[in-house]
Amino acid sequence: MKVCIAEKPSVARDIAEVIGAKQRKDGYFEGNGYQVTWTFGHFCTLKEPHDYFDQWKAWRLEDLPMIPTNFGIKLIENDGVKKQFGIIEKLVDACEEVINCGDAGQEGELIQRWVLLKAKCQAPVKRLWISSLTEEAIKNGFQQLKNAEQFDNLYAAGSARAIGDWLLGMNATRLFTKKFGQGKAVLSIGRVQTPTLAMIVQRQKEINAFKSEDYWELKTIYRDVEFTATIDRLKTLDKANKGLAYLKEYPFVVTSFEKKDGKEGNPKLFDLTGLQVEANKKFAFTADDTLKYIQSLYEKKLVTYPRVDTTYLSEDLHPKIAGILQDMAPYAALTAPILQQPIPKLKSVFDDKKVTDHHAIIPTGIYPSNLPYEEKRIYDLVAKRFIAAFYPECKISTTTVFGTVGQVPFKVTGKQIIEPGWKEVYANDVKEKDDNSDKKEGEEVEEKTLPHFEVGESGPHTPRIHQGKTSPPKPYTEATLLRAMETAGKQVEDEEMRELMKDNGIGRPSTRANIIETLYKRKYIEKKKKNIFATQTGMDLIDTIQSELLKSAELTGTWERKLRQIEKGEYAMDTFKSELIQMVQDLTLEVKNSQYKPITIAAEPQKTNTVPKKTTKKKESAEPGSLQCPKCSQHPLMKGKSAYGCSNFNVCGFKVPFELFGKKLTAKQIADLVTKKKTGKLKGLVVNGNAQDGRIILTADFGFGVE
């Protein structure tokens, strides 16, 4: 008997139907020489600290770092898991061969290998490796089963990732919680989570520090076309008025007229991150929701395997494309024009060198009715992107006109779509406003047609002053955060360049959504409309972490590249593990010897998987009472009825009132005043009877002032 192990009951049912195992048993299907059973995702996990040593159950600084000699696995504590594993264990023990039918990716490989390891499997193992769950794909997969050894590197990479996350997460979380935490809450640190938070905090600080400034620009209308002066923005209205007076003295003269034809290349097929970005921009879906919807579509056989990081197809798929397009009946009006001639084998679509385990996400051709609304929207994104890839390029014409008024240069640019090409696929889409979009993928070009101008022509014009304000950096949305994770924090607009940088991205496409959700649950970040902001807790945590190894997206991206090299057999798992152990040891020594600084920690994490709803701000829990007096540096501060004061107040005399300059201070603000010599920016401070914004500072003589 051959035992097939799938990752979900629904997938097991599909496989059993195709291979003829149609008799339902307790926990498996049987028939035609096969037994088909399943897990429910992860059945095993790495052992917890207390599984190695009882003393590691308590969180103590003196026990850190915790580095097991050998890492072990255990079953997850769940009655359903234990029962189903018992069934798998019996089937595996009695079989002649095991067929690993887990999801064809790193996580799927890890799930199945751990189960087989725990079950002490002695039978030979084959691997089913397919990119969709259609009947044809499953049949072909069973005809071309692979030896399990071919995927040893994939398993090694998954193991290295899990061990790395354990080493850093377990040790750093305990380290920072015990060194800097207050109360019972936990300061969660993670290999990918922390640099992601650091990117958000850095953006938050840039926004907070930004001071908007007024500026003025000179514009003029000539032949019903508005031109903008190409000089630097003017900083005062007086200069703008002088410039306007100058412009009124001279005619407008055309100095250059240039018209160029160009093309807008077709958008790339979707990888998982690209799909999550587009769904967030168009529908405000979270990355986690999009992953759930596309996974459901995959299990319904409607799309290919979704947890991919490539935007290309393997070249052997080219002969099948026409058939898939032909089967997409609801999109017949869009597919008809490209089915009238052979499908081109475009290098921008088909490239074996750009495909590793799986190709980009595309439809399978199957399309049932009655999809849930959200899944229908995701399917529509995938289907139209697939169709658009085979349309002609969009042909455009760009016109640039330069002119002068006296000595002041002016410019205007116009763009006209000559042949819409692939944009016809999106012609009937409802355009949804997205103020934080980079207006890149599959969006309509704003047309602006300019008349013909002759070089040297001149005439009257109507100048004016345009007043504007400088804008702060935009906060992250999930779309822009996913792109930042993909490129290790670097701003990269070019699709080809992004493709090259994916090996250095932080996290994997399949895990980034979970990382973002974890940050929400820990209350390190919050969402306002579509924008993501760091909470005070998140900012305090990043400020406390001095090690760049924990915060740097670029350095974390280097680790990710090594994990991918392990997957390709180009880097040793043991070397990666040794490097992480050394890093954890160095980090532990550094933090243990660092200056003590308490940190405000939010309340317990939320228990839902949804984005936190807006709640009333809770009183901060940090207390300055654990700090040393800044004046005498010998005694701690103590809380009195109206102030924090030196415990040796009768001699030292230092105190910080709860209220200063008409503002009741939080414990965090008082702690900042004591440790950083100033608070953050406060509104409505009363100075000499007048209200003003500013920071309260600790002066050289240990009094208080406002700056």
Catalytic center residues: 305
Half-sphere CA count of 76, side-chain side, radius 13 A: 15
DSSP state of 526: E
From residue 91, give the alpha-carbon distance in Å to each of 37, 97, 111, 432: 9, 10, 17, 53
Q: Which DSSP helix (H) or strand (E) runs through 691? A: strand 690-694
Residue whose token pair is 């001095």 = 546
**Residue of 513, 507, 486 lying closest to 497 (CA atoms):** 486
Q: Transcribe 527-541 into DSSP letters.
A: EETTEEEE-HHHHHH
DSSP string, 214-240: EEEEEEEEETTEEEEE-SPPBS-HHHH
What are φ and ψ of residue 569, in 5° steps? 80, 20
Closest CA to 450 of 623, 227, 242: 227
Q: Which residue has the tokens 């037994």?
A: 35
List b or e across 129-154, with b for residues whose CB sees 16 or more CB atoms inside 10 angstroms. Answer: bbbbbbeebbeebbeebeebeebebb
φ/ψ (deg, to 5) at 315 = -65, -25
Contacts of 210 (CB under 8 A, 6+ apart): 472, 473
DSSP E strands in 115-251: the ranges are 125-127, 146-147, 214-222, 225-229
Cα–Cα distance between 475 and 202 in angstroms, integer? 10
For residue 282, give both structure tokens: 């168009």
For residues 291 and 306, the answer to whether their CB atoms sit within 8 Å is yes
CB 200 within 8 A of CB 190: no
Q: How many residues does the chain have?
A: 707
- Placement of tokens 């306007």 in the chain: 244
Name residue 624's amino acid. P
Burial class of residue 595 (count of CB atoms within 10 Å of its CB; 0-12, 13-18, 19+): exposed
CA distance 521 to 7: 27
Q: What stretches of 95-149 show up as alpha helix (H) in DSSP? A: 106-118, 135-143
Helix, strand and coil percent figures for the chain, each rounded to 5: 40, 20, 40
Question: What does the alpha-carbon distance between residue 34 and residue 294 come to, in Å, rounded to a whole number?
Answer: 30
